[in-house]
Amino acid sequence: MQFFIDTADVGEIRDLAATGLVDGITTNPSLVAKTGRPFLEVVQEICEIVPGPVSAEVTATDHPTMLAEGRKLAGLAPNVCVKVPLTPDGLKTCKALTDEGTQVNVTLCFSAAQAILAAKAGATYVSPFVGRLDDIGAVGMDLIGDIVEIYAAYPEIRTQVLVASVRGPQHVIEAAKLGADVATVPPAVLRAMFKHPLTDKGLDGFLADWAKTGQTILSDEDGHGEPARRSA
């Protein structure tokens, strides 16, 4: 499974990209607005940090303007993935951009029927929103299972299932078990995936035992610490 980070915070992106765990980025107008910076400037900077797909969303709702916006976004960097809504005009735009060789992420998917249409339109990614479905009493992961099953039945479908609106590590685990291609997660969720109390407890124990030896691995010659003791 690939991990995308759902943010427009350049500082967070730089920090998390250094882990080697970040395969791409998803943004939307709301996330970019939080930065207080020009939209196109932010997208371009993110594309320079992360070599993988960077989803940048159009803001128009009619096909001609969406297409013009999509072409402009695609011209910012070769790794831009234009994000369009799952509407009739959005799918028209998806088809046109896909035919031009541009990656497209079809967003705001809430049903398997919609996901079928996105695949037919040639979407690179379809983004089902699991958290928002959970919020209204549905089970978001049921939708992921349905889409993965349907797509698997048709080898000609190349659209990848990108799980969005992820609320916690459990969503990521469930999506991975179902065979989703990508999970896009807020930075806080990715950081939470590192955490386990037994990891912290074990590390504390190792460090306490090491401190008792009075040794260091790095010496003054390394620019840090005291010389390591040598065995007799």
Active site residues per annotation: 83
Q: Are 1 and 182 in contact (CB under 8 A)?
A: yes
What are the residues whose beta carbons fall under 8 Å from the beta carbon of 220, sequence distance 6 or more?
Answer: 226, 227
Q: Are 88 and 62 in contact (CB under 8 A)?
A: no
Please provide the distance, in angstroms rounded to a whole number, between the alpha carbons at the two ends of the chain: 50
Dihedral sign computed on CA atoms, order 94, 74, 129, 195: positive
* Nearest in space to 45 (alpha carbons), one of 11, 69, 22: 11
* Nearest in space to 45 (alpha carbons), one of 56, 30, 29: 56
Q: Which parts of the chain fold into alpha helices (H)? A: 10-17, 29-33, 39-49, 63-74, 88-99, 112-120, 130-135, 140-152, 169-178, 187-194, 197-213
Q: Are 141 and 129 in contact (CB under 8 A)?
A: no
- Give 183's strand partners: 3, 163
